[in-house]
């Protein structure tokens, strides 16, 4: 367009352009200026439909997390213990205390992701303590009765008397025994001073 304007100016300066040509070319310049495309970028309206669709997709991808609790009860079994007692003959048993089961409460906390369980924790509380079962075990052994004058609490004849001391010792009797003698029951005369099971060593 600039070259055309220069060419027109040169022709008019030398008198080679008629009035009609001037008018025609003037109209051409005006039309060309009007038809020149603008460099200003067009504003494209935001497509609200596409925007809503993208937001919906984001919402669909965000997991929904929730929690719930469940409570259950379970039995706590009792233990059994045995205690020795000389109140019962050896080999005999007796229930001293009957056992009773206890009870515990368990609370589960469950995590759900999109309705599916993804985690579970629990907390236990003893709501009823168990009572242990106690059994008595007899240990008593009766002394062996003999027709002799020997005390059945000893192996080796220890006379039956109000008191017996070791011969050659400092005891004052009235009866004496020469050892060693073995204590198999109760040391009723105190002959086993060191407690090793033998007296008058």
From CA 82, how far away is CA 89, in angstroms rounded? 15
Q: What is the pLDDT of residues 6-30, one digit of tens each?
A: 655 555 555 544 444 544 555 544 5
- pLDDT in the model for residue 29: 47
Nearest to 105 by CA among 69, 68, 80: 69
- pLDDT in the model for residue 173: 83
- pLDDT in the model for residue 130: 97
- pLDDT in the model for residue 22: 46
| Residues of the chain under the 70 pLDDT cut | 1-60, 144-147
- pLDDT in the model for residue 19: 44
From CA 133, how far away is CA 114, in angstroms rounded? 49
Structure tokens given for 68: 């719930």
């Amino acid at each position: 367009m600039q070259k055309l304007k220069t060419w027109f100016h040169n022709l008019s300066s030398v008198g080679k352009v008629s009035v009609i040509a001037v008018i025609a070319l003037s109209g051409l310049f005006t039309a060309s200026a009007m038809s020149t495309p603008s460099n200003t970028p067009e504003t494209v309206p935001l497509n609200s439909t596409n925007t809503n669709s993208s937001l919906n997709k984001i919402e669909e991808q965000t997991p929904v997390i929730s929690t719930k609790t469940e409570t259950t009860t379970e039995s706590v079994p009792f233990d059994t213990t045995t205690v020795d007692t000389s109140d019962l003959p050896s080999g005999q048993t007796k229930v001293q205390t009957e056992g009773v089961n206890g009870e515990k409460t368990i609370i589960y906390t469950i995590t759900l992701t999109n309705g599916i369980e993804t985690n579970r924790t629990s907390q236990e509380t003893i709501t009823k303590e168990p009572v242990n079962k106690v059994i008595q075990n007899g240990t008593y052994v009766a002394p062996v009765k003999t027709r002799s004058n020997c005390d059945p609490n000893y192996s080796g004849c220890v006379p039956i008397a109000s008191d017996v001391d070791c011969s050659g010792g400092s005891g004052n009797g009235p009866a004496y025994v020469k050892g060693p003698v073995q204590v198999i029951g109760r040391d009723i005369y105190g002959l086993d001073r060191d407690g090793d099971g033998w007296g008058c060593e």
